[in-house]
Structure 1
Amino acid sequence: MTHTTEPSITHGRNPTLRLGEHRVTVLTDGAVQLHPLHWFPDSTRDDWSGRNSSALDSTGYIPAPITALLVEHRDRALLIDTGYGAHSAAAEDTIATIGNLYGGHLPTALARHGRDAADIDTVAFTHLHDDHVGWGFPSGPDTPRLFPRAAYVASAAEWAQGERQSAAVTTRAASTGDEIFPGVRAWAAPGHTEGHTAYVLSAGGRRLIAFGDVFHVPDQFAHPDWTCAMDAEPTTAVRTRHAMAAELTRPDTLAFATHFAESPLGRLRERRGVPQWTALDV
């Protein structure tokens, strides 16, 4: 029997930010350990020992949260990604790029925020990897949907994979520029998967970009050309990272980073010519 040691991620707080009439809240479902040299094979040990590098845990992994973003506007609610679900896997049972992996906290985080899963009318997926769709689809034919009222949104290329289709779910294919929720538009950001999509909320004179897995850790802003082992189209992913970084440094732009440990809400600023992530104090 194997035992999963959960990475040291705190679940007790839901960081919330207001943008005009919108309220965005980070909901943490679980966490995963990323092996720095396997996840980023172009990196070296020296890249992870500097003062400005991501902190490694006691076992030498990058602790990365698995989060979702709740967007509320008046009486409506959108959820961007749905975590890993009620699952866990010990490091010896996963693949070489990761260590311990677990989910299960999203419903509690949602309830702590005062929302019920039935309040969600739209679920938007950046892509259909397991750590982004875990609570979105029933685990078996007799398992009810957690979000019974929600229409599901992803790119046509993601839905074309077919594995996540279900007659019990209303799905919609979104392309760049499509408004999928009041103030929220889809933006193609391919590379991690063919149909990977970012979502851009414009409200209150600012915009917030939920960029999914375009970046997994802040270190990639200084090294956008690093290959990520899990990117389906590495060359396209590099182009997307460069384009996304340019967008994130524009004025009045904030971001939601699904897997950033320090804070998934932040902004990107250039310091001495190097883009650096700054967490929002929310």
Structure 2
Amino acid sequence: MPHNVTSYRVGDATIFKIPELALDGGDAEILFPDSDPAAVAEAVRGLGPGSLDPRTRLLRQSIHVWLVRTPTQVILIDTATGNDKNRPTMPVLHRLNEPFLDRLTAVDVRPEDVDLVLLTHLHADHVGWNTRYEDGRWVSAFPNARYLFSARERAYVAAVARGDGSDAAIRAEAGLGTATKTPLHAIYEDSVLPIIEAGLAHEVTVDGSEVAAGFAFLPSPGHSIDHASIRFISRGEQALFWGDVLHHPLQVARPDWNSIFCEFPEAAQKSRQWAMNYAAETGALVFTTHFAESSVGRLSREGDRLTWHFI
């Protein structure tokens, strides 16, 4: 294993962070539209330089993938943005050319070694490495893997991509309140549909049931229509891969602030509070998707407040 790759142990599993992009220029008032300068100044107090640039006062974030190696399987949690994806409305994600697969190889994992890909939700920066562009078409980046994701999420993203209005019924059934955003259309065609057509997709119900050895999809909707936080338990130890319920540590102080990318604001706030309380009460080691620094930590309760501690 390369000397600069940090691993974590949860029971019998070893977990690695596989980086894709460092995002060091986040304006808090843009990322969190409900914020204001005075409230931001208060919320960022105590943040270290790994999460807040001390000179520019801009937020530091990350896009990465979690690799979980158990004694019997190799699992990826989300697949970041991917190369060559057409994302003109999101320039930072547009037509990337990152050596992500080389970074996997650096921890002795080849694409064909991956057994499972578990997706918290179907947004552009979580499904991109599902596929790679080869000979004029999108093919599975991990050809021997089963890809597990929410059935409702898949149906919704497909309906949005079709543009036939059928997404309205799915929103009504979900009952999450008013939607202020919808997913990017292109992600279904280039990052989800090719997996389905290859026979590698396995749709799940997000209800806390075990979907693979030690893994369960816990409901945390709001950021997306059927967002899941993925729990892993091994030998009594627990990890929580909470996807996008929080985007930055400052939301621990301000869980009422949704990101600009959250689709169902009211539900997103409820799920954020749930995830934070769950992590604090269970003592789970939390593996975040967009926190910078180590991206791993725990939440503790101090009086009536929750506090984040990087590991």
Q: Structure 1 length normalisation: TM-score?
A: 0.85
CA contact under 8 A between 2:10 and 2:237: conserved in structure 1? yes
Q: Kindly tell me: are residues 157 and 13 of structure 1, through their superposed partners in 2, closer, same or farther at Cα, counting changes over 3 Å? A: farther
Say if 2:250 is the partner of 1:223. Answer: no
1:240 maps to amino acid: S
Identity, % of aligned positions: 28
Within the candidate set 15, 20, 35, 1:43 is matched to: 35
1:165 corresponds in structure 2 to 193
Following the alignment from structure 2 to structure 1, what is the Cα–Cα distance between the partners of residues 84 and 57? 23
Task: Mark the runs of 5 or more structure 1 residues left unpaired by the alignment.
Answer: 1-10
1:128–1:231 Cα change, 3 Å? same
Measure how far apart 1:179 and its partner are: 2.2
CA-CA distance at 1:227 after TM superposition: 2.8
C-alpha spacing 1:103/1:232, structure 2 compared with 1 (3 Å): farther
Between Structure 1 and Structure 2, the one with more helix by share is 2
Classify 1:94/1:202 alpha carbon distance in 2 versus 1 (closer, same or farther; 3 Å).
Answer: same
Tell me, in whole angstroms, the C-alpha distance in 2 between the residues paired with 1:129 and 1:155: 12
User: How is 1:47-86 mapped onto 2 (pairs within 5 angstroms)?
Assistant: 47-49=39-41, 50-53=44-47, 54-56=51-53, 61-86=58-83
1:153 aligns with 2:148: yes
> Does the CA contact (< 8 Å) of 1:31 and 1:103 recur in 2?
no
Q: RMSD in angstroms over aligned alpha carbons?
A: 2.5
- CA–CA distance in 2 between the matches of 1:58 and 1:42? 24
Amino acid at match of 2:304: G
Decide whether aligned partners of structure 1 residues 154 and 103 sit closer, same or farther in structure 2, where only a CA change above 3 A counts: farther
Instruction: Tell me, yes or no, if the aligned pair for 2:82 and 2:132 is still in contact at 8 Å.
Output: no
Check conservation: 1:210, 1:255, Cα contact below 8 A. Answer: yes
- The structure 1 residue matched to 2:125, chosen from 121, 131, 136, is 131
Distance 2:109 2:145 in 1: 14
| Structure 2 CA distance for partners of 1:259 and 1:12, relative to 1, 3 Å | farther
* Unpaired stretches in structure 2, ≥5 consecutive residues: 159-187
Relative distance call for 1:219 and 1:89 in structure 2 (3 A) is farther
Q: What residue identity is the alignment partner of 1:241?
A: R
Match of 1:180?
211
Q: Matches of residues 176-255 of structure 1 in structure 2 within 5 Å?
A: 176-255=207-286
Pair 1:121 & 2:111 matched: no
Residues 1:30 and 2:21 aligned together = yes
Deviations 1:209-261, CA, capped at 9 Å, x for gaps:
10000000011111111132211100000110111111010143111101111
Following superposition, the deviation at residue 201 of structure 1 comes to: 0.5
Q: Out of 122-131 and 40-49, give the one that drifted further.
A: 40-49
Instruction: Indicate the SS of the match to 1:238.
Output: helix
TM superposition shift of 1:58: 5.5
CA distance in structure 2 between the partners assigned to 1:263 and 1:74 by the alignment: 24
Structure 1 range deviating more: 211-220 or 139-148: 139-148
Letter in structure 1 aligned against 2:61: A
Would the alpha carbon gap of residues 86 and 275 (structure 1) be closer, same or farther in structure 2, given more than 3 Å must change? same
Q: Distance in 2 between matches of 1:124 and 1:139?
A: 21
Q: Which amino acid aligns with 2:309?
A: T
Give the letter for the 2:216 counterpart.
R
Aligned to 2:103, which of 105, 109, 119? Answer: 109
Render the CA deviation track for 1:74-130: whole Å, top value 9, x for unaligned: 13111011111125999xx755xxx84567242122111111111111111111111
Deviates more, 1:195-204 or 1:26-35: 26-35
CA contact (8 A) 2:131 2:138 kept: no
TM norm structure 2? 0.77
Find runs of 4+ consecutive structure 1 residues off by over 6 angstroms: none
Mean Cα deviation higher: 12-21 or 189-198? 12-21
Q: CA–CA distance in 1 between the matches of 2:202 and 2:242?
A: 19
